[in-house]
Amino acid sequence: MPWELPPERARWRCPPQLVGYGCTEEIPPTREIIGQARAVRALQFGLRVKRRGFNIYVAGHPGTGRKTAILSFLEELAEGMPTPPDWCYVNNFKDPSRPRALRLPPGKGVAFKRAMEAFVEEMRRELRRVFESEEYARRREEVLKAVEEERGRLRREVDETASKEGFVVQRTPVGLIIAPIVEGRPITDRELAHLPEPIRREVARRKEALEEGLREALRRFRELDRRAKRLLVKLDREVARYALTPLLSELLEEYGDVEEVRDYLKEVEEDILENLPPILGREKQEAPFPLPGMEEDPTRRYRVNLVVDNSELEGAPTILELSPTYKRLFGVVEKVAKMGALFTDYTMIRAGSAHRANGGFLILPVEPLLSDPLAWSTLKRAIMNETLEIEDIVERLGLLSTKTLRPEPIPFDAKVILIGSPFLYLLLYNLDREFRELFKVKAEFDTVMDRNPENVKKYACFVSNLCRKEGLKHLDASAVAAVVEYGCRLAGDQRKLSTRFADLADVIREASFYAEEEGTQYVSRRHVEKALEEKVYRSNLMQERVREMIERGFLLIDVEGEEVGQVNGLAVIELGDYRFGRPNRVTATVSLGRDGIIDIEREAKTGGPIHTKGVLILSGFLSERYAQQVPLSLSARLVFEQSYSEVEGDSASSAELYALLSALSGRPIKQGIAVTGSVNQKGEIQAVRGINEKVEGFYEVCKALGLNGGQGVIIPESNVDNLVLRDEVLEAMEKGLFHIYPVKTVDEGIEILTGVKAGERLPDGSYEEGSINHLIQRRLIEMAERIKEYPD
């Protein structure tokens, strides 16, 4: 019997009153994740557990709203969490190649950076002021005067000692020279050489004795120089410390409660005192070929590099990194080229998304993450070690060994949420041992949800949120009802709604565009229906070409009359953004032989494994039903006519069986009835996919060739709930121009196709006289008898 339409034309229709609102503008905003109770429960568990390893993998298909829903859910959760600290990198004065990391309360990082910049500027001014003051000049003069007096006294002692021995000490650019005095005047070495030998020996003896004393005097001179330098350095440190103390006191008063900052400021003070000459410009070294920008700022080492600034953050951070490369995730130490060489320092350290997400949530898409193996391995290491390290990629890969920075690692405390497909989850779980230890929680997003009044209202909430977020025109109740019906269509189930919100959003955006063109206040049903019609029109060129080829007879399809061993099977053509159904002629021929059922598609290697399995099942069915007393002795051939690509799937196995039964029984099949559904060895018809596209595809062909009231489609009874047909098809069914025949068994289907009773098995193993099964059984027995005449 044909399928009878349920009340209101179809159960999946959504009367506007079920929406619960007159317009989506009336609906308050919400952040609820719609239709994903299972995923929400998994998220809540994973986010509550604070132990390492309970990170989350969000599995689901693209378009189900995973990314948007997770981001909204986590942002709401993060608002009630504490704001994590700021992080800065500062110079390590003991080992500049290992910059230190400073943790500061949220918002203090940027203030500390500005305070240090102000401190450096003020420090310069104060040092210049105190070192240019009269007081400093006076104290310096006192130190130098005392040393110079000691130097003069020592000089006089040297002169007196030399004079007593008959020598004079002469000071030259190359040092002190002792010259003998003869006849009241110093003489040169040349003059000394002309003196008598006894005099020369005496002068040499006295000079040697004097040089011993002079060496001691020179040592005392050097000690005086060192003493003067020490006194001046001590004076400079005292004066500088006097100038720095009030400036550092202000910083300590503001940031002294942080121990790391306290220690750092002490090191800053000591480093300034150790490097006063370059800071004051006393030791300025110029390059042999000075270039602009090559001058080194001696105060650069006191800058603060703020890498994580949470001053404007309320609650915990929620970071979505759509391009999770190694650099973007874990930061980089930048370099600058100078004179053909690369230079860097701690001020060029740049943080990554993992640093910014510290203390909150880091959301990463799996596919681009896995495309960068270095990023994936580093992420796992960061989670396991609970630290974030910034490393040079070249050094990490071991390609080149150069001297570079090794910044101090930062503690890592963030929940990592991966978003990917169920297939990738399965691969990672089975192939990556560390993955199952680090991502213990799986939150799976479904593609459908139950259709009930509560979820219909949630659909309306989704529409309302989308319109507010993107500034679209709001939908009235009739338009929301049309969106709900489209959701049913996408789900392919009268009792379900699709959660492919990306597809729904595209339709709503297009419908809003048409409403704007018309100048209406709200989007109504006709705008949604127009959007759906235009969406189909933009993509169904291939469908139109196939229909045209059928009309013109290039593709042989009969929709009226009867034929033996021939039936219209139904297939679904996938075009990416669009899919449609089309009929395929399936034929079967039978002859005497021992080959059994031959699948021509398999022999030609154009049949897929599942299709082959479906054909092999037919042999099991025939053997179970007709070969209990005699063996199957036939050669049967099955083929999809005019099929020039791979045939895959078992949804046409029932059609192939019907063609085979027709060929064996000799009873013709009505060509106006197409068939879909798989079959098992017991003759039960099983559900298939794409039922709506198949029914509508055959309807379109029948309409093009002429509806006569006897056309229709046989479908599995278990697929009835999947029927979400277009209005045009439903109207044709109401008028009796087109029919749908749900069946449970092969017997029901063959009766509809041939108009002949299938026949029940009698106690003796035979079937009712004149029935399809009786005719087939008799034919097979005859063939078994005749095959004996042709032994192998």
List the helix and strand counts (H, then E) for the chain.
27, 30
Q: Is 694 a catalytic residue?
A: yes
Length of the chain: 792
Which residues are CB-neighbours of 439 under 8 A, at least 6 positions away? 53, 55, 56, 57, 416, 418, 428
Residue with tokens 């199952």: 436
Read off the tokens for 350.
Answer: 């740049």
HSE-up of residue 200 (Cα within 13 Å, Cβ side): 10
HSE-up of residue 463 (Cα within 13 Å, Cβ side): 35
Strands 341-343 and 336-338: antiparallel
| Alpha carbon distances (Å) from 237 to 195, 270, 298 | 57, 9, 17
- Report d(CA 37, CA 450) in Å as an integer: 11
Options 207, 524, 694, 771, the catalytic residue:
694
- Taking alpha carbons only, the member of 530, 472, 534 closest to residue 505 is 472
Which residues are CB-neighbours of 298 under 8 A, at least 6 positions away? 275, 278, 279
Read off the tokens for 645.
Answer: 């690509």
Burial class of 202 by CB neighbour count within 10 A (0 to 12, 13 to 18, 19+): middle
Which residues are CB-neighbours of 16 under 8 A, at least 6 positions away? 476, 477, 478, 480, 481
- 8 Å CB contact between 176 and 218: yes
Q: What angle do CA 740, 741, 744 make, to 5 degrees?
A: 145
| Alpha carbon distances (Å) from 521 to 460, 463, 524, 719 | 17, 16, 9, 40
Q: What angle do CA 214, 218, 221 make, to 5 degrees?
A: 140
Q: Is 635 a catalytic residue?
A: no
Task: Give the 3-state secondary structure of residue 606.
Answer: coil
Q: What is the separation of C-alpha 143 from the centre of its chain, rounded to a whole number of angstroms?
A: 68
- Report d(CA 50, CA 87) in Å as an integer: 22
At residue 389, what are phi and psi to the nearest 5 degrees? -115, 140
- Report d(CA 715, CA 652) in Å as an integer: 11
Task: Give the 3-state secondary structure of residue 792.
Answer: coil
Options 464, 651, 654, 678, the catalytic residue:
651
The helix-helix angle for 477-491 and 453-470 (nearest 10°) equals 110
Active site positions, annotated: 651, 694
